[in-house]
Amino acid sequence: AQRVTQPEKLLSVFKGAPVELKCNYSYSGSPELFWYVQYSRQRLQLLLRHISRESIKGFTADLNKGETSFHLKKPFAQEEDSAMYYCAAYNYGQNFVFGPGTRLSVLP
């Protein structure tokens, strides 16, 4: 069965420190991978997609097919990055699956 795991429920870093949110997936074929973010009292929103190879708000995500990982990284965390982050995977004809989420807390 398709599965997305995020090993950390909570990740705390200091402002200006690098941050890495881990995501691993178990999927047949080559799924599309996504990161979603939900800031406090705001709607869920798409942060970035693997297929776009984009950098949004300073975040990037590298797909490692060998390790089946899609970790989210930012070199210098900001307090406004504090939020809930969800990794997700989708393959045509299969379920669209979310990970359990990681709460990022950026401390001043």
What residue ranges bind another protein (CB under 8 A)? 32, 34, 43-46, 49, 51, 86, 88, 90, 92, 95-101
Tell me how far, at minimum, the Cβ of 95 lies from another protein, in Å: 5
Using the minimum distance from each CB to another protein, give the nearer residue, 59 or 86.
Answer: 86
Using the minimum distance from each CB to another protein, give the nearer residue, 33 or 106.
Answer: 33
Tell me how far, at minimum, the Cβ of 69 lies from another protein, in Å: 19
Are 81 and 19 within 8 A, CB to CB?
A: yes
Give strand pairing partners of 47.
Answer: none
Strand ranges in 1-108 using DSSP code E only, listed in sequence order: 3-5, 10-14, 19-21, 24-26, 32-38, 45-49, 60-64, 69-74, 83-90, 97-98, 102-107
Give strand pairing partners of 89.
Answer: 33, 97
Tell me how far, at minimum, the Cβ of 76 lies from another protein, in Å: 25
Using the minimum distance from each CB to another protein, give the nearer residue, 43 or 65.
Answer: 43
